[in-house]
Structure 1
Amino acid sequence: MRETGQGEEARMDALAGLWRQAGLDARALDAVTLTGADPILPSGFKVGTAAQATIAASGLAAAEIHRRRGGPAQRVSVAMRDAAIEFRSEHYCAVNGQTRGDGWDSIAGLYPTGDGGFVRLHTNFPHHRAGVLKLLGCAGEREAVAAALMQWDAVAFETAAAEAGMAVSAARDFAAWDAHPQGQAVATLPPLVIERIGDAPPRPLPPLAERPLAGIRVLDLTRVIAGPVAGRTLAAHGADVLHVTAPHLPSLTALVIDTGRGKRCAALDLRDPDQKARMEGLARGADVFLQGYRPGALAGLGFGPEQLAAMNPGIVCVSLSAYGHRGPWAGRHGFDSLTQTATGINWAEARAAGEVKPRVLPCQVLDHGSGYLLALGAMAALMRRAEEGGSWLVRVCLAGTGHWMRGLGPQPDGMATPDIGEDQVHDRLEESRSGFGPLVAVKHAAVLERTPAHWALPSMPLGSHTAEWAS
C-alpha cells in the first residue's frame, strides 16, 4: 500500500483493519494509494480517515471482483479531501442550479431538558413528528416543544418516545454510553459482520465484463442515507440496482436525488398479496438483498434473511440497523444524528470545541461510513459465495461505525481546521441529467485506473420504473 502525507500508519491500519474484517486477501492492499491527511474537517475525530478508509475499502473490493472475473489488476486511489467531500454529498446536490436544502423538519434538533440534560428529536418523517407532538402534548412550534421538554428528564423522554415508536435520543457522554447495556453490546461487535446463514453450491462471479459488478443484481430496500449510499456505490461499479420503496412510505426528496444515481426505482406495497408476490420474484432473481428497516420488520412480511436464503439459496442479505442486532436496543429506531447523540460522540465534539452543549460532527459520518461498509460487505460476501458457496448475511450498524471511528483515536487540535467551503468543491462536482432536472452532484472519490466508477443511469422520482430486472 502506498501512502503520502502525515499519519500514514494510522490510515493504513484503518483500511487494512476493514479489509481483514471482510476476510479478503491482504495482498490486494498493495494496489491502494491514499493521499492527504487529517485533520481535513473541523472535528475532534479523524473523520477524514474514516471517510478515506471506508471509500477505499469499497473501491478496492470492486477492483478485486473485476480481477477475479479475469480482468487486469489495477490501482485504486483515494484522496482524503475527495472522500471528505463525498461524505457530505447531499449538501452539494443541486437541481436546476438550486440546492434542495437539508430536509430537516422545523422542530427537529437538540433541546435541553428539565434535569439539565439534552435530547435530540428526529421529526423529518410526518409520523415521527406527529408522535413526538402527541407525546409532548404541545403545538408544533420550537418554542412550545422546548417548553414541554423542560418538564421531562432526558432519559425518561427518550424511553417514552422509544416505547411509542418515535425517533429520539438522550445525550450521553462516552462514560455513560460505555456503561449502558447497549453500549456494551455494541462494543462487542466489529464494524462489519459477515456470516454464512445457509448452504448453497458455489455461484461463480459473472464472466468478465467492462465494469466490475456488471451482471450483479441488487435489490435496494433502503431510505435516507446509509443504505442508499451502499446501493449508489454498487451502482457506481456497474451493478443492476433496483431501488424498491412503497407509495405509503415517506421519503426525503433531496436524498433520493443524491443517492438515486445509477439506480432504477420501483414501488411495491408488500401489504398487497399480488405486489408481495412480485417482490418474491425479484428476490429469487437477486444476488444482493439490501435493507435498512427496523430489525425484524421485513421478516414479518416473509423477507427475513433466513426466509430469503430458503427462497433463493446463495443470496447475499445486507442489513443495516441503528444499534446492532444484540442488546436491549436491537430493535430501536435510529438515525445518524440520534446515534451520534446517544453514543457520546456529540458531547466529545462539544468538549473538543470548548462548547457547553452537544455538538454534531461536520458530516453524517455514521451514515456515509456505514454505507460504504455495507457495500464492502456485499462485495466480500459475493466473492466468498463464488469460492465457498452458501447464503450470506452482512450486518452493519450506525453505532458500530461510530465505535470504530472512535477507535481511530482523537484528532488533537482538529477543531482549528478550516472547513471546506461550498466554493471550494467545484472540482469535485459533475453535471448530468436526471428525472428532476439538470443535476450537479459529487463525483465518486475512489479512482479505479482501469474501470472508472460512474453512474450510467440518472436519478429518477420514486416509482418511475417497473418492478422487474433489466433484461
Structure 2
Amino acid sequence: MNAMTPELALQHIWTFAGCDPSALRSVSLTGADPGLPSVYRVGSLASATIAASGLAAAEYHRLRTGRRQQVSVQMRCALAAFRSERYLRIDDGPPPALRDPVTGFYETRDGRWIQLHTNFAHHLQGVLKVLGCDNGRAAAAAAIRGWDGATLDQTLADASLCAALIRTPDEWAALDQAKALAGLPLFEIERIGAAPAEPPRRGGADRPLTGVRVLDLSRIIAGPVAGRALAHHGADVLTINGPHLPNIAPLVIDNGRGKRSAVLDLRDAAGRETLRGLAADTDVFLQAYRPGALAARGFGPEELARMRPGIVYVSVSAYGHEGPWAQRRGFDSLVQSASGIAFTERQAAGCNEPRHLPCQALDHATGYLAAFGAMVALTRRATEGGSWHVRVSLAQTGRWLRSFGLLPDGWQAADVALDDVRDCVATVQSEFGRVLAVQPAEQMEETPAFYALPPARIGAHEARWE
C-alpha cells in the first residue's frame, strides 16, 4: 500500500469494522503529510483514527435521534491532539517533564543501539541493578558499552524490564513476534456472549454517549486517550487506579480531562468486590494491563460478559495478544525501536543516533482505535445485542503505519511549536491550577466534543457511579 491518504486510511478502518459505508459521505478531512518532521505519514494516521472515532460517535448518536451530522478533521489539529502531552502547560509554566533522564538510546559493545525506558522508579532501579551501575546517563552509557545489544535486550526482557534493541525493519520482520502480528488484523471487534439488544436512550440527550458508563483501568497514554475520547463525546468515565501503581503526573492531568478518578486495590478481596459491583452497571470496561493480568484477578472478558451480559470489553496491549512477546512490557517508543521505525527515521535523516517519531503516534492512534472499537461495539449491541471484546495493540498500529509508505524528505518538515497551535488549545481551572491543553480535534456539526469535567487528582472521587 503506497501513498496512503487520510481518506483511504479512514475508509480502511470504517469498512473493515463493517460500518455503514454511506456514513463516510458525512466526513470532511483537510491537510496532507508531512505535518511534522517524519518520513512516516503520521498525519494520515492521526486524521483517520480521530475521524473514525468521531464518526462512530456520530453514528451512535444517529441511533438515538435518526439524524446524521457532519464530522470534520483538520490534520494540523489531529497532530496537535497526537502531541497533547507536549503542549500541556500548568499556570503558564514550562513544558512538563515526561521522561526520566536515563530513558533514551545507548550504543552497545557490538556497535548496536538499545533504548532504555526508565520513567517508572521501579523500572529504573531494575535496569540499574542489571547494569550494575549508578543512576545517571553517563554511568548507564559506560555500563552498556560492556554488553552486546541482543544479550542486554533479552536479559532486560527476562527481568520484566523495559528496553528494546534498535532493529531494522527486516530484522523485526524475521522475528516470531512480527510473524504472529502479521496474521492479525489492525483491530478486532469480536462477539463473546449472548445478551439482549440495548438501544441508546432516546430523546433528551444532546451528546452521543450520554448515559454510557465507562470503567477506565489504564495508565500513561494509549488506554487513557481512549477513555478521554469517550468522555469528550459524553460518556461517564470513571478511572480506576491501584494505590501502588506508578503514574506520570502530566499524563494524569492531560488524559484525566472529562473523567472522575477513584482508587481500588485489586490485590485484596474488598477492592475486587467493589470493582465487580461497578462492572455490573458499566457499559464499557477499558483495560490496558498486560494480556492475562486482569483475568488472573477474575476480570477477563469472558468473566465480565457473564457478570454483565452486554458489556463491551476493550483490551489495549503493547505487542499484541499473540506471539512470544505478548507478555513483554512495552511502551510506544519501545515498539518504535523494536519494529524498525526508529532505525528508518535515523537512516532517512542521516542522524548518528536512532530517532523516534515526532509524537507518540502509536499510543494516540491505538487509543482512538480503541474508542472507535468501543463505539462500534455499542452500536452493534444496540441493534443486535451481545457482549463484545475489542482488541488493539501498539505493535499492530505500528505495522499499519509502516504499510502507508514513506515520505523520503518528510523529516525536513518544520517542527510545530505551541504558538503554532494556539487555536487548538484552551484553558480550564482545576485543582492542579490553570491547565492549558489541546482540545478534541474532531469537529462535530451537532454534538461538539468537549470535556465536562476538569482533570482531577488520582483518587479524588469515590468508586461508585453517580
Using the size of structure 1 for normalisation, the TM-score is 0.97
Match of 1:187 among 179, 182, 185: 182
- 1:44 partner letter: V
**Aligned Cα root-mean-square deviation (Å):** 1.2
Q: Which residue of 1 aligns with 2:166?
A: 171
Query: Do 1:92 and 1:99's aligned partners in 2 also have CA atoms closer than 8 Å?
Result: no
- Structure 2 SS opposite 1:197: strand
Pairwise CA distance, 1:205: 2.0
Contact 2:127-2:156 within 8 A present in 1 as well = yes
Q: Residue 100 of structure 1: CA displacement?
A: 4.9
Separation of aligned partners in 2, 1:405 and 1:213: 29
SS of 1:314's partner is coil
Report the equivalent of 1:224. 220
**C-alpha contact 2:113 2:149 (8 A) present in aligned 1:** yes
- Name the CA distance, whole Å, in 2 between partners of 1:435 and 1:21: 42
2-side partners of 1:412 and 1:134: how far apart?
A: 41
CA contact (8 A) 2:47 2:75 kept: yes
Cα deviation digits, residues 75-129 of structure 1 (max 9, x gap): 0000001101110000111111114523211211111111111111111111101
Shift of 1:204: 1.7
Q: 1:99 to 1:292 in 2, by over 3 A?
A: farther
CA contact (8 A) 1:43 1:352 kept: no
Map of 1:238 onto structure 2: 234
Q: 2:54 aligns with which of 28, 52, 59?
A: 59
**C-alpha contact (below 8 Å) 2:87/2:438 kept by paired residues:** yes
1:263 matches 2:263: no
Structure 2 letter corresponding to 1:225:
I
- Of 61, 70, 83, 1:75 maps to 70
Is residue 330 from structure 1 mapped to residue 326 from structure 2 by the alignment? yes
Q: CA deviation at 1:321?
A: 0.5
Matched residues in 1 for 2:119 and 2:16: separation?
34
Percent identical among aligned pairs is 54
Deviates more, 1:290-299 or 1:201-210: 201-210
SS at match of 2:65: coil
Report the CA distance between 1:265 and its aligned residue: 0.4
Note if contact 2:4-2:44 (Cα within 8 Å) is conserved in structure 1. Answer: no
C-alpha contact (below 8 Å) 2:105/2:353 kept by paired residues = no
Letter in 2 for 1:105: D
Q: Which runs of 4+ in 1 moved over 4 A?
A: none
**Change in 2 beyond 3 A, CA 1:78/1:8:** farther
Asked if 1 retains the 8 angstrom alpha-carbon contact of 2:4 and 2:404, the reply is: no
Indicate conservation of the 8 Å contact 1:40/1:417, yes or no: yes
Aligned-partner residue type, residue 262 of structure 1:
G
Deviations 1:389-429 (A, max 9, x none): 11111010001100111111112321121111222111111
Matched, 1:14 2:9: yes
State the match for 2:404 in structure 1: 408
* Structure-2 separation of matches of 1:218 and 1:357: 41
Secondary structure in 1 matching 2:52: helix
C-alpha spacing 1:299/1:9, structure 2 compared with 1 (3 Å)? closer
Residue number in structure 2 paired with 1:346: 342
- 1:90 partnered with 2:89: no
Aligned to 1:313: 309
1:280 aligns with 2:295: no
Whether the 8 Å contact between 1:63 and 1:212 is mirrored in structure 2 is: yes
Q: Which residue of 1 aligns with 2:381?
A: 385
**Which residue of the partner structure matches residue 125 of structure 1?**
120
Residue in 2 that maps onto 1:3? none
Counterpart in the other structure of 1:38? 33
Q: Distance in 2 between matches of 1:429 and 1:376?
A: 23
Cα deviation code 1:314-367 (max 9, x no counterpart): 111000110101110011110001000000000011111122331010000000
1:425 aligns with 2:421: yes
Query: Residue in 1 aligned with 2:130?
Result: 135
How many Å apart are 1:8 and its aligned residue? Answer: 9.5
- How far apart, in 2, do the equivalents of 1:154 and 1:73 lie? 54
CA distance in 1, matches of 2:408, 2:19: 32
Paired residues, what number?
464
Give 1:206's aligned amino acid.
R
Give unpaired runs (5+ residues) of structure 2: none
- Supply the distance in 2 between the matched residues of 1:255 and 1:423 (Cα, whole angstroms): 21
Q: 2:378 corresponds to which letter in structure 1?
A: L
What's the counterpart of residue 292 of structure 2? 296
What residue in structure 2 maps to residue 4 of structure 1?
Answer: none
Counterpart Cα distance in 2 of 1:12 and 1:80: 11
Alignment of 1:373 onto 2:388: no
Structure-2 change in CA distance of 1:9 and 1:105 (3 Å): closer
Following superposition, the deviation at residue 155 of structure 1 comes to 1.6
Alignment of 1:49 onto 2:24: no
Does the aligned pair in 2 maintain the 1:91–1:102 contact within 8 Å?
no
Distance in 2 between residues matched to 1:79 and 1:400, nearest whole Å: 25
Shift of 1:434: 1.4
Greater alpha carbon shift after TM alignment, 16-25 vs 333-342 = 16-25
Deviation at 1:312, TM superposition (A): 0.8
Give me the whole-angstrom Cα distance separating, in 2, the residues matched to 1:239 and 1:421: 31
1:100–1:254 CA contact under 8 A, matched in 2: no
Secondary structure of the corresponding residue to residue 49 of structure 1: helix
Distance, in Å, in 1 between the alignment partners of 2:239 and 2:94 is 23
Aligned position for 2:458: 462
TM-score computed with the length of structure 2 as normaliser: 0.98
Deviation at 1:71, TM superposition (A): 4.6
CA distance in 2: counterparts of 1:439 and 1:11, whole angstroms: 31
Amino acid of the residue matched to residue 188 of structure 2?
Answer: V
Larger mean Cα displacement after TM superposition, 342-351 or 196-205 = 196-205
Q: Structure 1 284/338 Cα, relative in aligned 2: closer, same or farther at 3 Å?
A: same
Q: Describe the SS at the equivalent of 2:69.
A: coil
Shift of 1:153: 1.5
